[in-house]
Amino acid sequence: MSTTATGRQAEAYVSELLSKDGYKILASNWRNRFCEIDIVAQKGRVVYFYEVKFRSQLAQGQGLDYLTDTKLRQLKFAAEFWCSENGWSGDYRICAAAVSLRSDGLTIEDMLEIDF
């Protein structure tokens, strides 16, 4: 399976868990020529922008270790772009989910809200 297909599978897994927890998935793999967001979800009056990081082996490091300052700036830009494009002026949060592959399937290693 390609890394893109595996990444999409991890994103679908996170979307499913969010849906089960009462989130409405507004978009998956939202992108334009300037930026992209893995998952856009809403719960109550807050929109959540999720970056999903998948690692097939922990030897590659934790997925959230790959959230560099540059990536965080890109996520903030993408969230602001989505809000502008979709007329959203309410609260929003930028979040990340680390997914790994274990012998029994995909699992969430960590989920966090990113403070700016």
Number of domains in the chain: 1
pTM of this structure = 0.88
Which residues, in sequence order, are CB contacts of 87 under 8 Å at separation 6+? Answer: none
Tell me the pLDDT tens digit for each residue of 13-32: 999 999 999 999 999 999 99
Tell me the pLDDT tens digit for each residue of 51-89: 998 876 665 656 677 788 899 999 999 999 999 999 999
* CATH of residue 29: 3.40.1350.10
Residue ranges making up the domain that contains 83: 3-114
